[in-house]
Amino acid sequence: MSLYGSFEIGKKALTASQMGQSTTGHNIANVDTEGFSRQDLLQAASKPGSDGKGTGVDVTGVQRKHDRFTKQKVVDEQMHVGTWGTRDKILTEAEVIFTDLEGTRLRGALDEFWGAWNSVSTEPESVTMRKALLTKSQELAQNFRAFDTRLSDFNESLNGRIVAELHKINQITREIGMMNKQVEQLEKRALPANDARDRRELLLQQLSEMVEIRSFESKRGTLEVQIANGQNLVHGRENYELKPVKSVDAKGDVRIELESSAAIKADVTDVIKYGVLAELISQRDGNMKQYHDDLNLMVNELAFRINKLHADGTGINGARYSETGSKILKADDIKKPIPFLQSGSFEIKLLDDNKEIEEIFTINLQAGVDTIETVVDKINREAGAYQEIEVNGQVREVLREITPFKAELNAEGSIKLSTGMGKQFIYGEDTTNFKPLMGLNCFFNLSDGARDIEVNQELVADEMKIAAGVDLIPGDNRIALAIAELQTTSTMNDETVSFDEFYNAQITDIGLKVSGAQKGLRSHSQMLEQYEALRDSVSSVNLDEEMTKMVKYQRAYESSAKFLSTVDQMTQTVINM
């Protein structure tokens, strides 16, 4: 090889050393960059000359140091960490709601409520005890409403988090599409796209924490990302966004819609199984809905049991001229059999001027048959409220204008019972549940569970109307005692547990689920740390190694420069000969 060929060898050596030093500096600069994979300069001996002698060194590329297996395991495990972490966070927040933030507000309100009924049962004619009962009952109703509000607000916050998560997912898939474009453009020109690939893999890891995905690299070098059913989130340079949709069927809850490349929109809410997004949906539609349903179940059952007993009783000032039931039936329900009605009878007792029982009307009802209209008719027939009149030669039955007792169906769908001729009435035994179902002589009024439960305003206005006994008997405490005993009576879960035990079971259940979520999170976090350590052992930047390389490339550069200087001197000698 000639001296001039040696110049080319020296130039290549300098170039290789420069690129090696540049690559080392790039690694050092990104030592703290998340997702960065260290890069190595690839070198190979140049193609020999025609005389078979070496022609120096060629730089063949800059290689990312990474292990596909461990990186995929990190992506897979990140999905489980996202799932368990979200579960732990949501259940912990729900546990705070159940412990009432300040300790045991609802638990304490329940205890004080039952205690107030016990006090009334010991002194049924005490104004003080009755006023205390009203106060504790209103506090309990307020706590139920507040509990319902907190659960409703929490449910709405989960919907908000789902929308926020969708926004983050769409941002990531949009950026993956942009990275795909960079990778494709660079590699088409035979240029390395190492940094773009690193960024893309980091985005994929972040995405896997949020939603279960499948991914693979296409022949063009683009990263294809799909959800579990195979629908694309990223295809080539295009991304397809997950969109929040609210529907009447979901009662205002957010559902997720994905539009395909063919512009076909599909609900994919139930397709997503793992990750932060799936867990938000699962907790909202699973545990949180169940806890809310359980609250309403307890409130409805508690109110019904108390109302059923209270409706059969009579307060000290319990004699009345009229009452309108608090239950309002929709137009479509008026002609339908009354739900939850039992076959049997209920009594209405007409009083004389001395408030002695003058007459008892017994109305027999049949479950699955009687409607509110037929019940009104039966009451009026039993009370003799009809009279026959002739209209156009035909005999018709109409209500008497003046009658000791009658029932009417109001326009808004409620029942009204009233007396005439100066009479008053009280209620007697009811084996049909008609009175509590229609909101007659009830202690609590409600139509939508815990959301709107309140103490009957008639009792708030006059505490002496609270039914502690029956038939206006002085000192009678049978009703108050029966209601107080409900605290420990098995009434819930097919009459296997009491109200207290049912509520305690909810607190225990959520505590166990929080503990399970924390164990799952710890387990998968440890697995993730192990896979990340394996990945980093291959891909992360080691400063000691990079410093060694820096010195190596520095010495190689100095040697190459010395080589070129020596060749230059030799050339000058030849020229000067």
Stretch 63-86: mean pLDDT: 85
Q: Is 26 exposed, middle or buried (0-12, 13-18, 19+ CB in 10 A)?
A: middle
pLDDT tens for residues 102-116?
445 788 899 999 999
Q: How confident is the model at residue 382 (pLDDT cuts 50, 70, 90)?
A: very high
Helix (H) or strand (E) holding 42: strand 39-45
- Which residues neighbour 424 within 8 Å (Cβ) at sequence distance 6 or greater? 319, 320, 321, 350, 351, 355
Specify the 3-state DSSP secondary structure of 351. Answer: strand
CA distance 386 to 395: 12
The residues pairing with 217 across neighbouring beta strands, listed in sequence order, are 223
**CA pair distance 501, 115, nearest whole angstrom:** 17
The helix/strand count (H/E) of the chain reads as 13, 19
Tell me the C-alpha to C-alpha distance, in Å, between residue 142 and each of 154, 440, 463, 484: 18, 22, 18, 20
Q: Which residue has the higher pLDDT, 2 or 319?
A: 319
Contacting residues for 41 by C-beta, under 8 A, at least 6 apart: 16, 19, 20, 23, 59, 62, 63
291, amino acid identity: Y
What mean pLDDT do residues 299-318 have? 94
For 2-11, how does the pLDDT look when each residue is reduced to its tens digit (9 = 90+)?
A: 666 787 788 8
pLDDT at 103: 44
181-232 tens-digit pLDDT: 999 898 888 888 888 888 988 899 899 999 988 888 888 888 899 888 888 9
pLDDT for res 1:
54
Pairing between β-strand 242-246 and β-strand 238-239 as defined by DSSP bridges: unpaired
Q: Residues 20-36: what's their mean pLDDT?
A: 84
The confidence band for 523, taking pLDDT boundaries of 50, 70 and 90, is: very high
In this structure, are residues 381 and 370 in contact, taking their beta carbons and an 8 Å threshold? no
Report which residue type is found at 33. Answer: T
Q: Facing residues of 409 across strands?
A: 415
458 band by pLDDT with thresholds 50, 70 and 90 = very high
Q: For position 519, what pLDDT does the model report?
A: 94
Residue 487: per-residue pLDDT: 92
Classify residue 435 by burial, with Cβ atoms within 10 Å: 0-12, 13-18, 19+: buried
Distance CA 129, CA 318 (A): 17
CA distance 291 to 506: 7
Q: Region 299-309: what's the mean pLDDT?
A: 95
pLDDT at 538 over 80: no
Tell me the one-letter amino acid at 2: S
Max Cα–Cα distance, the chain, nearest Å: 151
CB-neighbour burial class of residue 516 (10 A; exposed 0-12, middle 13-18, buried 19+): middle
Q: What is the model's pTM?
A: 0.84
Nearest-angstrom CA–CA distance, 235 and 256: 19
3-state secondary structure of 108: helix
What is the layout of strands, in order, in the sheet containing 344-351? 357-365, 344-351, 424-430
3-state secondary structure of 381: helix
254-298 pLDDT, tens digit per residue, is: 999 998 777 778 888 888 889 999 999 999 999 999 999 999 999
pLDDT at 425: 95
Q: Each residue of 405-431: pLDDT tens digit? A: 999 999 999 999 999 888 999 999 999
With 80 as the cut, is the pLDDT of residue 527 above it?
yes
d(CA 329, CA 59): 85
Of all residues in the chain, what percent carry a pLDDT higher than 70? Answer: 98
CA 477 – CA 127 distance, rounded (Å): 14
Residue among 362, 347, 365, 348 at smallest CA distance from 405: 348
Rounded to a whole number of angstroms, the CA Rg of the chain reads: 41
- Lowest mean pLDDT, pick from 56-60, 84-88, 342-346: 56-60
Question: What rounded mean pLDDT belongs to the chain?
Answer: 89
Q: What is the pLDDT of residue 438?
A: 95
- In the chain, the amino acid numbered 301 is E
For position 100, what pLDDT does the model report?
Answer: 60
**List of E strands, 249-337:** 254-259, 265-267, 322-324
